[in-house]
Amino acid sequence: MLEVERAADLKAFEGKEIGVSDWFTVTQEQIDKFADATGDHQWIHVDVERAKREMPGGKTIAHGWLTLSLVPRLASTLYRVKNRSRGINYGANRVRFTGMVPAGSRIRLRLSIKSVEAVEGGVIDGVNVSTVHTDFMIGGPDVSVDAVLRDGTEVPLLREDVWQLVSDT
């Protein structure tokens, strides 16, 4: 895990990959709780029996916004700013949900620091390239659908997030 004293120290890692998180399993229970929290109970997320009949792979899928909301959890395993009073995720650039995350599949985060800029009052604005990948394959390891490998290249499920860190000092 990368640890820096101040948010401004992340400037040294601009344009560099920070790392890849451990795999995290997305469960049906998490999907159901997210549906309850957001009111999005579309059957592709919550109706397990119908999904068995009608969805590719026979499983419900996580909401795209659930997948996006897991980025801070996964990123916290990759880097830490020791002296900061708060961190705020205040937006997303070019987010696309290009693949499914079926219940029971695993995701991981590949994190790069795209930019780090100092602004007034000890505030640091930054942009991460947060690429989430899934291990989901339909029909075994040789057939994938918008998932991890396409001609040997990882295909991201989503991309860039914008954040702000405020230093203690």
**In tens digits, what is the pLDDT along the chain, a chain of 169 residues?**
999 888 888 889 888 888 888 888 999 999 999 999 999 999 999 999 999 999 988 999 999 889 888 888 888 898 888 887 777 766 666 677 777 889 998 888 888 877 777 777 666 566 666 666 666 543 333 222 233 333 334 445 444 455 544 444 4
Question: What is the pLDDT at residue 27?
Answer: 96
Could you tell me if residue 16 is left (phi over 0), alpha (psi between -120 and 50 degrees) or otherwise beta?
beta
pTM above 0.95, yes or no: no
CA 153 and chain centroid, separation: 18
CATH of domain 2-167: 3.10.129.10
Question: What is the pLDDT at residue 164?
Answer: 46
Question: What is the pLDDT at residue 36?
Answer: 98
Q: Where are the domains of the chain?
A: 2-167
